[in-house]
Amino acid sequence: MKTVTQWKYADPEQVRLSADLLGTLEEAGHIACWVGGCVRDELIGRPVNDMDIATSARPEEVIGLFARTVPTGIQHGTVTVILDKMPFEVTTFRTESAYQDFRRPDEVTFVRSLDEDLRRRDFTMNAIARLPGGDYIDPYGGRADLERGLIRCVGEARERFREDALRMLRGVRFASVFGFELAPSTWEALLELRGNMRHIAAERVRAELEKMIGGPQPSAGLRLLARSGLLEDARIGLQPQALRAAAPERLDDLPPKPGELRWAALLQGLGVPGDEAESRLKSWTFSGGFAKSAAALLRIDEAMNAAGLFEGAAEAGGFALRREQLAAREEPAAGPERPGERQAGAEPPAKQEREAGALPHKPRKADARTVFVRCVLDFGRTAAETWLAYRSALHGADERLAARLERAAGWLAAIPAESPRELALGGHDLAGQLDRAPGPWLGALIRRLLEAVALGEIANEREALLAEALRLEARLAKNETQAQKEERPI
């Protein structure tokens, strides 16, 4: 039988190779078809990614028919076939028995019937198969549901959700990404069984949320989660009230990539400050790099908001904490000391600075440029560029704010050095010139030199850096002398 290659939304080479794969299986006497997401996406006009294949052939039969295979999930009947360096997942028709802990089947049984295989799937739109000749096998009305924009479970919704509780979150994600609605029977079953989400591993919940937040309408998904309370008892616990506050329409306006942008905005909506964002995302099983990048965006936004970059502009928005929130977090636990008075047991400030390797400087509120440059040194150019792009895209219509952001972009472009490695004077050389053993003081001094270079206060030249280091050392020595006088008993 000649295989069909008429796919409008799939890569032509992927279609050709997968059609050849189907042909090989058919020639060996097996039933084979495209199934699942690739069929669904073709029907609704979305780009097709992976072209998954289902077959009556057993895993060992699939392995015997193709030169290059990988037994990626052979216990569940899945073998990856590689044709011209392109992988295709080929899964044997199967049925599944009762599920353990609302997440995995006790037993998988391989069958020869396509209808039996489609019966075990989650939603009708995912239970459509396409045969090599082009015909569709759609026993549960999936195409009609796609036309109506409905997410509906195959068979009894309660049974599908009891089998794998994650299907409830998948349903919300599909509704959000496709702009569909959950069928009444599916919604009612979700509300009844939402407590079973506590059985689902945080990694699986996070993976679904990532796809939803990365979709075209993340705020729609967040509103559905808030209405349903689906994640209230999940291992990534999100309360309905917090989710309602964290679903502004502007989240949809942010670009989906890099993903850290939307997650930073979501965390701010949930009331998570920048200095807690990294640990929160790690607890949700995000990678350390992703968590660090998202936290950096929040902290830059908070810092620039506190520095007054958005003062007087139309609604600044963004994901910065409000300035009154920042002020509340920075208030000391106890009232200020009276002049000349220190708390019992407290060291003089100068002594604290010496022991920490800090350098003396007059405490003052830094201007917006200084704060921004420090953010670049702390979090890196990429984070600063991403933050600027986000703010510019979101508030480009505000001429006053756009002008300030353009100025900040100029500050970034003018930074001549962002890393100690870029300084014309190295740490070892500096310690030798000052005749001091390396220690915490050296890192603090190099940071001060780097900041001065980044701000354009001194040239990135060895002699200029050494002169500035000597000047700072002289100030430190003077400060130490004054501190010793303060420490003498009266």
- At 337-377, the pLDDT tens digits run 333 333 333 444 444 444 444 444 444 567 999 999 999 99
| Closest CA relative to residue 255, chosen from 130, 386, 167 | 386
Q: Taking residues 379-406, report their average pLDDT.
A: 87
Query: What pLDDT is attached to residue 481?
Result: 64
Q: SS3 of 58, please?
A: coil
Tell me: pLDDT of 56 over 60.
yes
DSSP string, 283-326: HTT--HHHHHHHHHHHHHHHHHHHTTTTTTSS---TTPPPHHHH
Farthest CA pair distance, the chain: 103
**In the prediction, which pLDDT does 344 show?**
36
With cut-offs at 50, 70 and 90, classify the pLDDT of residue 451. very high
SS3 409: helix
Per-residue pLDDT tens digits for 6-35? 899 999 999 999 999 999 999 999 999 999
Secondary structure string (H, E, C) spanning 81-138:
EEECCEEEEEEECEEECCEECCCEECCEEECCCHHHHHHCCCEHHHCCEECCCCCEEC
Domain 1-142 has CATH 3.40.50.1820: no
Containing H/E element for 146?
helix 142-148
Nearest to 314 by CA among 392, 400, 389: 400
User: What count of Cα atoms within 13 Å lies in the side-chain half-sphere of residue 163?
Assistant: 21
% the chain with pLDDT above 70 = 82
Residue 301 sits at the vertex; the CA angle it makes with 297 and 302, to the nearest 5 degrees, is 115
- pLDDT for res 100: 65
pLDDT given for residue 3 in this prediction: 52
Averaged confidence pLDDT in the chain? 87
> Residue 385 pLDDT more than 70?
yes
User: pLDDT tens digit string along 397-423?
Assistant: 788 888 999 999 999 999 999 999 999
Q: Rounded mean pLDDT of 460-484?
A: 83
CATH fold of 149-247 reads Hydrophobic Seed Protein (1.10.110)
Angle CA 66–71–77, to nearest 5: 95
The 10s digit of each residue's pLDDT in 245-280 is: 876 777 888 899 999 999 998 998 899 999 999 999
Domain range list for the chain: 1-142, 149-247, 348-487
Task: Output the pTM of the full model.
Answer: 0.83
Rounded to the nearest angstrom, the gap between the alpha carbon of residue 342 and the centroid of all alpha carbons in its chain is 45
**216 vs 354, residue with greater confidence:** 216
Cis before 258 (ω within 30): yes
Going from the C-alpha of 299 to that of each of 188, 247, 265, 276, 374, the distances in angstroms are: 41, 20, 12, 10, 11
pLDDT for 346 equals 40
- What's the mean pLDDT in 198-209? 97
**Locate tokens 């998948």: which residue?**
170
Q: 331 pLDDT exceeds 60?
A: no
Containing H/E element for 150? Answer: strand 150-151
- Provide the pLDDT for residue 268: 87
- Give the tens place of pLDDT for each residue, 278-320: 999 999 999 999 999 999 999 999 999 999 887 766 555 555 5
Which pLDDT belongs to residue 455?
97
Q: Which of 288, 322, 318, 309 is nearest to 389 (CA)?
A: 318
